[in-house]
Structure 1
Amino acid sequence: MATADPRLRSRAQQQQPAPVAPPPPPPPPAETTPAMGLDGSGDAPESSGTSSDDSFKLKFCTVCASNQNRSMEAHLQLATAQLPTISFGTGSLVRLPGPTINQPNVYNFNSTTYEAIHKELADQNTQLYTQNGLLNMIGRNLNIKKYPERFQDWMPGKPRLDHKGDQGYHGTESGVVDVIFTCEERCFDAVLEDLHNKGGRMNRPVHVLNVDIKDNHEEARVGGQAILDLALSLNNAASEERKARGETGWDRGSGGARQGFDEKVPEIVAAWQERWPTLPALWSLAWF
């Protein structure tokens, strides 16, 4: 597992049938019921538990290339488990499959809403994008938050007060997280490089963990379950450290409890890897 301080070295640069009337986007789900996933299941995501409303909660971030499939499935599962969660993509643009491999659908981050993407694809070819699962995926996404966001445009520590409608919003208002989950190695590299470039001005530690997930509907669902399992393990360890050593300095990323938690993370990841041996993991400590 990677252990180098990203502030001390740079990472490498990353890398026709006539359409029928389009269906309307699905309505928002009840707060305790997640939107239907890409596998067609309306059941709540499987997990090893949830974080109760009155307990301490780590703050999480999920990241994939376009903030569409893997990061959004993980975002949904973490938020459904009552964990504070935000999500991003690391690509230069949002890219989704088009009518051919050479004709992707391309959108801007931070401004093009999931609702607008859903409408455009439904207008373009409802049958095609229903068959390949894109409309289901984007219908799920628009019930989680308003639009895909780019990690490199995020300013850690800037309040996220305009995201009150996002699932997992409560606890993320300050714009700081404790753990970042990426879903493939190139996103892991991009996140570490961007944090290095931002200079760690807050001098606050953040654990960056990559869970390698194939970019398809079923693997995203399973990967989301694995990320939730790891998140709950990390959250339990943080809660135990705070109870044993007190909360002093935690919000600044310092103090005995925070140090004890940081030291436990590698062994928690190792134990998780034994439970999920088919999902290779990487870990690094970085700074905001």
Structure 2
Amino acid sequence: MAIKREDIKIACICLSNQNRSMEAHAQMLRRGMKRVWSYGTGYHVKLPGMSIDQPNVYSFGTPYAAIAADLERKNKDFYSQIGLLDLVRRNAKIKTAPEQFQQLEIVDFDLIFTFEERVYEQVILQLETKPPVAMKQCHIINVETRDDATEAVKGGEFAALMAEAMLRSNDLDDEIYQIISSFQQRPAAPFLLHHISFV
């Protein structure tokens, strides 16, 4: 049975629910998609620090506003200059705090966009360990995206455009392969992976 367009639920997932997943989340919201959520699959939320060997580490659930306040306290000028404060403040306008995908008791999405192959594999593994509740197909699509601000914008836009095409589909489960293939053939398209799980 075809999924009604207005019922399609979308998740955007990266490691820390800070950069790539939140950029895609923001771009989808700007395009009028209402049923969008975002998550991370890491053990902790890791953000750049003042040196490579000293990242800023937070627990999932730590409010973005609290993360921003902590970064300001540590070195406001430095974290403003590298764009991290702007990123965290942007996130705070979208939702309260980063969330960990593995903490979800029930997964009920039609589309899941990941932005790194290991995250894609973590999501698939997590779905395979949960008994299906809705018994519906969930399409997991990896849009391989480097974890920096510029590439996150490109990856987020690509995922949002794909989501728009999928929302226009009359039968997503039947037409998704054609949609993915058409996007993979675009110039400079990121590497795409697709997997179906039942949720």
TM-score with structure 1 setting the length: 0.65
User: Counterpart of 1:224?
Assistant: 156
Shift of 1:79: 1.2
Q: Does 1:103 align with 2:54?
A: yes
Instruction: From 20, 41, 46, give the equivalent of 1:70.
Output: 20
Residues 47, 56 of structure 2: 8 Å contact kept? yes
Partner SS, residue 284 of structure 1:
strand
Partner SS, residue 196 of structure 2:
strand
User: Counterpart of 2:132?
Assistant: 200
User: Counterpart of 2:96?
Assistant: 146
Residues 64, 88 of structure 1: 8 Å contact kept? yes
Instruction: From 65, 76, 79, give the equivalent of 1:126.
Output: 76
Partner SS, residue 99 of structure 1:
coil
Q: Which has the higher strand share?
A: 2
User: Counterpart of 2:186?
Assistant: 275
Residues 183, 189 of structure 2: 8 Å contact kept? no
Deviations 1:184-204 (A, max 9, x none): 000000000000011223322
Deviations 1:172-222 (A, max 9, x none): xxxx22100000000000000000011223322100000001101011111
Which stretch of structure 1 is more off in the superposition, 195-204 or 225-234?
195-204
User: Counterpart of 1:136?
Assistant: 86
User: Counterpart of 1:114?
Assistant: 64
Shift of 1:90: 0.3
User: Counterpart of 1:33?
Assistant: none
How far, CA to CA, are the matches of 1:217 and 1:272 in structure 2? Answer: 22
Deviations 1:9-60 (A, max 9, x none): xxxxxxxxxxxxxxxxxxxxxxxxxxxxxxxxxxxxxxxxxxxxxx735221
Amino acid at match of 2:179: I
How far, CA to CA, are the matches of 2:187 and 2:113 in structure 1? Answer: 15
Partner SS, residue 142 of structure 1:
helix
Aligned residues: CA RMSD: 1.3
Decide whether aligned partners of structure 1 residues 57 and 78 sit closer, same or farther in structure 2, where only a CA change above 3 A counts: farther
Shift of 1:109: 0.6
Deviations 1:129-166 (A, max 9, x none): 01111001001000000000000001226xxxxxxxxx
Name structure 2 gaps, 5 residues minimum: none
Q: Which has the higher helix share?
A: 2
Amino acid at match of 1:152: Q
TM-score with structure 2 setting the length: 0.93
**Which one has a bigger Cα radius of gyration?**
1
% same residue: 37
User: Counterpart of 1:178?
Assistant: 110
How far, CA to CA, are the matches of 1:226 and 1:156 in structure 2? Answer: 27
Amino acid at match of 2:50: P
Residues 57, 235 of structure 1: 8 Å contact kept? no
Instruction: From 226, 229, 233, give the equivalent of 2:165.
Output: 233
User: Counterpart of 2:177?
Assistant: 266
